[in-house]
Structure 1
Amino acid sequence: MINIVDNQENVNPEDFYASLKEKLEATHDFPQDYLFKFIITNEESKQTEIYRVFDNVKYTLSTKDSKNGKYTSLTMNAFVLDADQVISIYKEVGKISGVMML
């Protein structure tokens, strides 16, 4: 799993995703299962938005609420065909406000 959260706020998104694609292709043998992790505020609507991104993807899901119940972590083990599909999923989830991608 590659950590998307970083402290490089001034990085060009296209450069970031190009670098991510290189890393994915170097470390994964696609097609295969890929582990996505997201942290969201504990709102059902946020979960639904993320689930919609995975509509056409076979995945298993586990969730865990934070100790105080304010946040939920979603772990999705999804079968992906290639690095481009992984990046596409990250880009779509990235459009959802308040989602932290790990």
Structure 2
Amino acid sequence: MADKNSDEFYGKLKEQLLATSKWPSNYLYKFIVLSDANKVKSIHKIFDNMGAVIVSKKSKNGKYTSVSITVNLKNPDQVIEKYKEVGAIEGVISL
């Protein structure tokens, strides 16, 4: 389902990651999702068994949950792979 824009976006992201980080490296993901337990759980599941540090925090009115994930990854391709997996969950916003 990748369109030209997302391919272009991920290509630029990979270049930036290669230029700015030494790999393997810790990477911080930030996502916002409606406060739906199943969606939050789905995000957590993508990072299971990776030694990720995950912090979830509900917004003031409780409608949204922000999920911050710090995980050590081997290379930029792994970073992009995880973005794509999380992006498959409906309604998730990547920051």
Q: Structure 2 length normalisation: TM-score?
A: 0.91
Residue in 2 aligned with 1:95?
A: 88
Aligned length: 93
For the residues of structure 1 that align with 2:5 and 2:22, how far apart are their CA atoms? 27
One-letter amino acid of the structure 1 residue matched with residue 40 of structure 2: Q
Residue in 2 aligned with 1:84?
A: 77
Q: What's the CA shift for 1:72?
A: 0.6
Q: Give 5+ residue unaligned stretches, structure 2.
A: none
Q: How does 1:49-68 map to 2 (within 5 A)?
A: 49-68=42-61
Residue in 2 aligned with 1:24?
A: 17
Q: Which moved more, 1:53-62 or 1:66-75?
A: 53-62
Residue in 2 aligned with 1:47?
A: 40
> Runs of 4+ in structure 1 displaced over 3 angstroms?
none
SS of 2:16's equivalent? helix
Give the structure with the higher percent helix.
2
> CA-atom RMSD, angstroms?
1.4
